A and B are shown apart, each in its own frame.
Chain A
Amino acid sequence: MKEHHKKDQAQDQQKKGAKDQSKAAAAPAEGAGEKKLSNAELKKKAKEEKAARRAAAKVSQPQPPAGSAPGQAAEGAKGGKPKPKQQQDGPQAAGSQHGKAATPRSAAPMPAPKEAKPSVPECFSHLAMAKGVNLTQADKDVHPAVLMLGQQMSTMAISDSTTRLEATLLAFKKVIDSYTTPHGTTLSRHFTSHVLNPQIVYLTACRPMCFSMGNAIRWLKLQISKIDIDMADSDAKKLLCEAIDSFIHERITLADVVIVSTAADMISPDGGDVILTYAHHHLVERALLRARADGKRFRVILVDDPFERVGLAHAKTLAAAGIPVAYAPDLGALRTNLQEATTVLVAAEAMFSNGAMYARAGTCDVATAAFDLGMRVTALCETINFTERVSIDSLTYNEIDPERNTDEEFRLLFDTTRDKSISAVVTELGICSAKSVPAILRKLEEL
């Protein structure tokens, strides 16, 4: 695969996926008569119908109004359109693509909740947002595990990039498990376009994919395409599942262990270090707890995100581990807090290839203020989160908080920190500078 065109390719694949999707929707319709559906497919269908029934019952309760049709969601991943337009397109497009199972039920409850939702402010309408897909509107080919995952993602129950990646891969494993290659075709040719792509389209519609998911899905598709045509179905599935397992193990589980211990080692064993961190990230938390477990004495200043108090629980965990914690609920008096600290430890959601760090909104403010004071800013990030894309400001790639997307309440989830304010990036491959992200990406290609 030519890595330079990865991005375009990914988009192409997504678009292709969308097209295939409509084909896929049409295929079973004609196929139903001639070919008998396999057991797995029947079971899947039954499950799906059950899920759809449940969702239909739930519609009366306030639920994130179903956004877009799957076809559109593919491009919604990056640079989505203003919402109202999609809403108009929604029902027809969805209706046309849905199998017979979903359409009748979804028709009735749809229009009601839609009109009420005000639109995203004009100046930020280019940004992506997790729109959530009503279960009744999901494509019938979507596997139940993926259906559930999509709902968890759209409600931000699973929100950080690595956890999303892991959950996605595990769900895909289940998809692979329940897959049987139809007659007259092979896994490597059929699975990606007819089974995997609808899952991806659905997930993307629920919430725009994060960079790590894009990377992993590209990898997975490559693995699928490499499978020998003559290989038996069960062997191929086993091979794929093993590959996914080892991918998760290497790129996430082990990577986290290495990053955590490297970061913990960076804390001085003599004591006296004061570490300032922002909000909550599991890598930072684990690194701090690890350092404490190693017997290091240090203090933590935790600056929280004022509109999403994820830091409170973090502070509690640290305090329970015997680390003295100072908790600042917002960015007020940031300079004073920083002057007291010796180092800043944050975790990145992704790293762009120009060395910019994509992380929770507010991280950039902390990092620049620390840079002003000449402090060391360390970012923790698994290499799976590295992307070849380039971003120089925070409005190129960003996401709008799905719960606060109106004039009255508006919130961006991420911001982009330029490489100059980042002293070091800790990855599973070691400590590097932000500028060396493209070098690491090259290296990863060779592996």
Chain B
Amino acid sequence: MPSVSSGHALDLEKFLKSLKGQPLEASINSLISLLKRRQIKGSEPCAVATAHILLQVVARSKWHDVDSLLINVSRTGRKLVDAQPNELVIGNIVRRVLGLIRDEASEDRGDAGDESASDAPTPTDIVPPAATSQQWTTRRLDSANSAAPAARPPIVSSYSSINPPKSLFHLLSTSPPADGDVSPFRNSGASTPTWRGNSSQIHALRSEVIDGIEEIKDEISQVDDQIAASAEVQIHPGDLVLVHQPSTTVERFILRAAQKRKFTVLIAVAPPRRHSAEGQHATFRKKLSAAGITVVNVMNGGLMAYMSRVNKVIIGARAIVATGGVVADAGAAAIARAAKEQGTAVVVLSGVYKLSPESPFDESSLIEWGDSSTFVSFADGPLVSGAEIRTALTELIQPELVDTYITNLGTHSRDHLSSLISDHYKREDADFHIWEEAEP
């Protein structure tokens, strides 16, 4: 639906333009409402908007040391995630920025004070398990006594066991932190009490983090090109390729392959909505036919009927969760299932920024339910009062249905995703969106 997507691009552009003229708080609030109203939607626009607003947070918010910067960023991130919890990329970008800040801060500290870094645990080392459990219990007691809401203990509970202390000496020498120090910020390595940024250090950190965020923005903009680079390897001459409601990423991928190969494309189009215009994917079709590719718009909800002929199914992801499950437009899961039935390969295209360290406990939590009036008119009284209309916009494709993931970093199997995740996110930041605001 080109008209709709351009409308959203407009909202994104408008928002990006407004960033300069507005105070930071106002920008954040306007982005939150844009997200809530789904005026900015789709993983790429959301990622871009998040990167921009975080850049503003780093550049313009008040912070005097790394911890307060981390708090500022994660607070803003949390608000954005709350505004649109289904868009996992928002959380991903926030995590990337948090990780970036931690990296830059640890480098700075390494330059500034070598003597403190030598005997303290390295920045990635987290509080050892012994300390954790103690901290956990004291915290529990503490929260039982006071009426204050129990702060969730930092990530340590899930991660520290994988990261045992290096020696017995470390275990003994690291004293359990004080009760109040349960925030992950205190464990960020950069926050050793000796570190107090002077203004020049802060300035340097700020500019480095800003550079880092710019890099993330560049990465997002280049994703489509980089993914398209592997098109020729995946699509072979004579293939019958099925794409489901192609996103720009998928379109670029197919078009790139079309430069070298002759194949047939089946487009599984979105069901007609009540107000939608005809002729879906018209420009994409035109480009493909110009390249001599046969394109067929398939108007079936379930595509099991076609699968015996289809060689490859290509699905553009909205997000990928840690288990390898893919959040995609509604209908994709049925297609992936049908492909599995016939042993057809399912290829998922996604930027690395869409790969999320979260793994949902309940798959239905990732379904975004849409406006019921797209299909049923409110004028239709008996139906409105008698039936519950369920319009899913997104859904989760089971990980076992996906054969290959293609990202801007190359082609990956499901097993490889976890290492990609650990390359891109810091463990401390995995659960940033559920940290309580323990810090003032």
Residues of A whose CB lies within 8 Å of any CB of B are 121-123, 302, 305-307, 309, 312, 315-316, 318-320, 324-337, 339, 361-366, 368-369, 372, 393-395, 398, 401, 404, 407-412, 414-417
Is there contact, CB below 8 Å, between B264 and A332? Answer: no
Is there contact, CB below 8 Å, between A312 and B309? Answer: no
Total interface residues on B, CB under 8 Å, equals 51
- Smallest CB separation, A10 vs chain B (Å): 24
Find chain B residues with CB under 8 A from A123 CB. 240, 264, 296, 309
Q: Which of A331, A395, A404 contacts B301, CB < 8 Å?
A: A331
Find chain A residues with CB under 8 A from B304 CB. 361-362, 364-365, 368, 394, 415, 417
- Smallest CB separation, B301 vs chain A (Å): 4
Find chain A residues with CB under 8 A from B305 CB. 361, 364, 394-395, 398, 412, 414-416
CA distance A409 to B280 in the complex (A): 10
Is there contact, CB below 8 Å, between A306 and B271? Answer: yes
Is there contact, CB below 8 Å, between B334 and A369? Answer: yes
Q: Which of A315, A361, A369 contacts B383, CB < 8 Å?
A: A315
Total A-B Cβ pairs within 8 A = 172
Is there contact, CB below 8 Å, between A335 and B302? Answer: no
Is there contact, CB below 8 Å, between A337 and B390? Answer: yes
Q: Which of B308, B337, B390 contacts A394, CB < 8 Å?
A: B308
Secondary structure of the A contact surface, majority rule: mixed
B338 within 8 A of A: yes
Find chain A residues with CB under 8 A from B387 CB. 302, 315-316, 318-319, 325-327
Is there contact, CB below 8 Å, between A408 and B301? Answer: no
Closest B-chain residue to A398, C-beta based?
A: B305
Q: Which of B279, B331, B341 contacts A332, CB < 8 Å?
A: B331
- Smallest CB separation, B382 vs chain A (Å): 5
Stretch at the interface among B27-35, B157-165, B246-254, B391-399: B391-399
| Contact flags B374-414 to A (C-beta < 8 A → 1, else 0) | 11100010110111111111010010000000000000000
B151 within 8 A of A: no
Given the interface contacts A123-B264, A333-B392, A395-B308, does A306 sit within 8 Å of B334 by beta carbon?
A: no
CA distance A3 to B82 in the complex (A): 67
| Contact flags B336-350 to A (C-beta < 8 A → 1, else 0) | 011001100000000
Closest B-chain residue to A369, C-beta based?
A: B337
Find chain B residues with CB under 8 A from A365 CB. 301-304, 334, 337-338
Q: Which of B299, B306, B330 contacts A404, CB < 8 Å?
A: B299
Is there contact, CB below 8 Å, between B300 and A393? Answer: no
Is there contact, CB below 8 Å, between B367 and A415? Answer: no
Find chain A residues with CB under 8 A from B279 CB. 408
B22 within 8 A of A: no
Is there contact, CB below 8 Å, between A331 and B331? Answer: yes
- Smallest CB separation, A114 vs chain B (Å): 22
Give residues of chain B (299-339) contacting chain A, Cβ–Cβ below 8 Å.
Answer: 299-309, 329-331, 333-334, 337-338
Closest B-chain residue to A325, C-beta based?
A: B387
Closest A-chain residue to B384, C-beta based?
A: A319
A–B Cβ pairs within 8 angstroms, 30 of them: A121-B294, A302-B387, A306-B271, A307-B299, A312-B383, A316-B382, A318-B386, A318-B387, A320-B386, A327-B376, A327-B390, A328-B389, A329-B375, A330-B330, A330-B331, A331-B301, A331-B330, A331-B334, A332-B333, A332-B367, A335-B395, A361-B300, A364-B338, A368-B338, A394-B305, A394-B306, A408-B279, A411-B300, A415-B302, A417-B304
